C-alpha cells in the first residue's frame, strides 16, 4: 500500500506545492491548515508520516508534536518539522518534543522528497527480524516475535508497548549491557545509510524509551547518559 502523508501547513500555496510534489512521487496526501484540527485528523487518517509546520493558527507545531507523542494511535507516525526559523535552539526544541527530523524553509523539492523517503524507510528497516532473544535481569526482547517485557522484582511481568524504533533501540542496548554507545553508533544501528538529519534525534528516541521502561525517567536506572560520549544501558546480562 502507498504511504499516507498528512501535510499540516497553513500557507495554502506551500501546502499545495508539497502535496502535488509528493503525489507525483506516488504518496497519498491530505492537507490541514489549522493546528486545532490536527489530532482528530491523525486519529481518523492514521498517516505514516506528518509534515508539520512550526508556526500554525490554533496550536503551534511544537504543541501538536508533543500531543501526538503523548497519545496512542494505531500507527506511530514519523514527524518531519518545517520551520522558517533557522536558529539551532528551535531545531533542538522541535526534536525534543518528538519530531524525527526537521527541514528549514526555504527548502528544495528534491530535499523534501529525500527526507520523506528516508523517514519511511526507517519503519521498513525496523520491522526486520533476526530471530534473536536478548535477556537481562529485568528485561527480555524477543526479536523474532517483536515482543519486549520488563520484569521488576515484586511486580508482574509487563509487556512493553514500543514503537519499531524504540524496540530496536532497546534491542541494541540489551545486546551489549554496560557498553557505551555514541550517537553515531546508535544512528548506524537504528537507521544505517537511511539516516538523513540531526543526530539529536537519538536523544528524542532515548527520552521516549526512558518514559516506557524507567520508573523515574528524570533519574534513569537503566539508560544512563555519559557526558561527551552518548548512552549506556546498565543491567545484568
Tell me, what CATH number does 24's domain have? 3.40.50.2300
Beta bridge partners of 49: 5, 78
pLDDT grade, residue 125 (50/70/90)?
very low
Please compute the mean of the pLDDT values over residues 194-200 and round it to a whole number. Answer: 70
Q: How many domains does the chain have?
A: 2
Residue 72: which of 211, 203, 202 has the closest Cα? Answer: 211
Residue 48: which of 70, 26, 66 has the closest Cα? Answer: 26
Residue numbers of the domain that contains 179: 133-233
Q: Which of 126, 158, 186 is the last residue of a domain?
A: 126
Q: Which of 71, 95, 126 is the last residue of a domain?
A: 126
Residue 169 pLDDT more than 80? yes
- What Rg do the C-alpha atoms of the chain give, in angstroms? 18
Average the pLDDT over each of 17-31, 98-112, 119-133 and give the range with the smallest value. 119-133
Same domain, 194 and 141: yes
Q: What pLDDT digit, counting tens, does each position of 3-48 carry?
A: 999 999 999 999 999 999 999 999 999 999 888 889 899 989 999 9
Q: Which of 88, 104, 126 is the last residue of a domain?
A: 126
Q: Of 101 and 122, which is predicted with more confidence?
A: 101
Percent with pLDDT over 70 in the chain: 87
Task: Flag whether the pTM goes above 0.75.
Answer: no
Average the pLDDT over each of 10-14, 100-104, 159-163 and give the range with the smallest value. 100-104
Amino acid at each position: 500500500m502507498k504511504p499516507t502523508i498528512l501535510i499540516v501547513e497553513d500557507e495554502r500555496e506551500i501546502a499545495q506545492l508539497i502535496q502535488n510534489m509528493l503525489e507525483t512521487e506516488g504518496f497519498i496526501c491530505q492537507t490541514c491548515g489549522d493546528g486545532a484540527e490536527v489530532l482528530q485528523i491523525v486519529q481518523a487518517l492514521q498517516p505514516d508520516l506528518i509534515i508539520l509546520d512550526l508556526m500554525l493558527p490554533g496550536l503551534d507545531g511544537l504543541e501538536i508534536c508533543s500531543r501526538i507523542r503523548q497519545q496512542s494511535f494505531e500507527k506511530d507516525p514519523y514527524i518531519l518539522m518545517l520551520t522558517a526559523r533557522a536558529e539551532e535552539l528551535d531545531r533542538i526544541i522541535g526534536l525534543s518534543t518528538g519530531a524525527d527530523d526537521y527541514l528549514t524553509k526555504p527548502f528544495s523539492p528534491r530535499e523534501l522528497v529525500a527526507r520523506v523517503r528516508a523517514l519511511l524507510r526507517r519503519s521498513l528497516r525496523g520491522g526486520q527480524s533476526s530471530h534473536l532473544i536478548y535477556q537481562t535481569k529485568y528485561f527480555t526482547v524477543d526479536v523474532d516475535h517483536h515482543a519486549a517485557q520488563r520484569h521488576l522484582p515484586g511486580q508482574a511481568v509487563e509487556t512493553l508497548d514500543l514503537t519499531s524504533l524504540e524496540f530496536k533501540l532497546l534491542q541494541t542496548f540489551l545486546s551489549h549491557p554496560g557498553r557505551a554507545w555514541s550517537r553515531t553508533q546508535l544512528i548506524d544501528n537504528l537507521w544505517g545509510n537511511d539516516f538523513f538529519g540531526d543526530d539529536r534525534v537519538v536523544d528524542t528516541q532515548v527520552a521516549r524509551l526512558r518514559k516506557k521502561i524507567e520508573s523515574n525517567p528524570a533519574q534513569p536506572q537503566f539508560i544512563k547518559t555519559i557526558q561527551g560520549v552518548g548512552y549506556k544501558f546498565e543491567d545484568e546480562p
